[in-house]
Structure 1
Amino acid sequence: MHLERSTYIIDISLEQFSEYGEHHDIKQYISGEDLYNVLVVACSSIDEGIISKVVVNATGIILEPHEDRMIIEDKSIILCVGGDICCLNLHDLDLGWRILADDACCFSIHRYNNGYIVHGELAITHISLKGDIIWQFSARDIFVTYQPVENGFVIENDIIKVTDWQGFEYHLDKNGNCIKEFKC
């Protein structure tokens, strides 16, 4: 995935760890035991060329890079990496913070109430801008649907609507409380 923001060019790819395991000149943020797949993040300055390159691994299933799995802020990039959310400084790709948001996999991350909402397989997690968990919500089943649901995860007017595998839809308020639940 290739992104351009202000003065930065960011390239993110899903690679096999064996391609990068021997490169001691590349920063590595490894926390998971499965070293098969890793995200490789390269950041360049439009004026200065390549600034830095990192390899990031995590617990859980690492998905292909997608615009729903990252947020680019003024000075950082927030990434879904397996079950982790990682904040990397854009200038040098140093790790600002890292938090386990889901034990399995993070599907997407969204700006929400001075922080972030993470749509994970097992949990919906509200994280502060500094990487602290504010609240988490889990339900009777995973937040994946086996049949196409038009809006399996959506945020409308500060209400988070999410559907689980059994077809139950949950409406969460800004404090993570379930204010409505019904079978679709």
Structure 2
Amino acid sequence: MILRTELGDFSVINEPTYTFGSSDNVRSYPFEKNLDSGAPPVSVHGVFLNEDPIAVFGATGGASGVHEHSAVFHNGCLYLAVSDSVICLLLQSFEFKWFLRIDTATCFGVHFHEPTCSLISHGELEISRFTESGEIVWQSSGRDIFTGSLVLGEESVAVTDFNGDQYRFRYPDGRYGA
């Protein structure tokens, strides 16, 4: 996945063979963070700026892959889905700001709804709105896991669960409706 920004082109890749703390990795990163230190991660994602490696992150929650919704860029920060968490990186001067366990299973992706300035995570069990400072505004769940598509509508987040049931969660409060 590639995000084109005023700071350059950011790309995110899967790093399934990366071992934290080892010098025998295919690539080395100036910053590495295993969110669950001491436990081998299930998901590992590397971040690049203009093809140069800048950071690698891993976590032990549910497995996540890299795709078009693995990260969003907003207000100089990269919000990255890794396993069950969202990570926030300040990119101008590179700073790891925070990580937030956003789903009890897996975070499938991160989205930004411009009209409402909403950061939204598509989790396996919860759809969440969170702030730029890493606080959860609301979380909403359904009858089954959210394996279907997530669409940012005008007034609500539309998502489909494993059974094909559709939900709409309002941006301000996460309540079902709209």
Q: Shorter-chain-normalised TM-score: which range? A: 0.7 to 0.9
What residue in structure 1 maps to residue 140 of structure 2?
Answer: 137
Residues 1:42 and 2:45 are matched in the alignment: no
Q: Distance in 1 between matches of 2:133 and 2:176?
A: 25
Q: Distance in 2 between matches of 1:171 and 1:14?
A: 31
* 171 and 59 in structure 1: CA distance in 2 versus 1, 3 angstrom threshold: same
Q: Distance in 2 between matches of 1:167 and 1:2?
A: 30
Deviation of the 1:173 alpha carbon: 1.6
Counting only pairs closer than 5 Å after superposition, residues 21-36 of structure 1 correspond to structure 2 as: 21-23=21-23, 26-32=30-36, 33-35=39-41
Residues 1:77 and 2:43 are matched in the alignment: no
TM-score, normalised relative to structure 1: 0.78
Runs of 4+ in 1 over 4 A off after TM superposition: none
TM-score, normalised relative to structure 2: 0.81
* Rg comparison, structure with higher value: 1
Identical-residue share of aligned pairs (%): 27
5+ unaligned residues in a row in structure 1: which ranges? 146-151
Deviation of the 1:36 alpha carbon: 5.0
8 Å CA contact 1:17–1:35 kept in 2: the answer is no
8 Å CA contact 1:114–1:128 kept in 2: the answer is no
5+ unaligned residues in a row in structure 2: which ranges? none
Deviation of the 1:65 alpha carbon: 2.1
The alignment of Structure 1 onto Structure 2 pairs a total of residues equal to: 169
What residue in structure 1 maps to residue 168 of structure 2?
Answer: 171
8 Å CA contact 2:61–2:105 kept in 1: the answer is yes
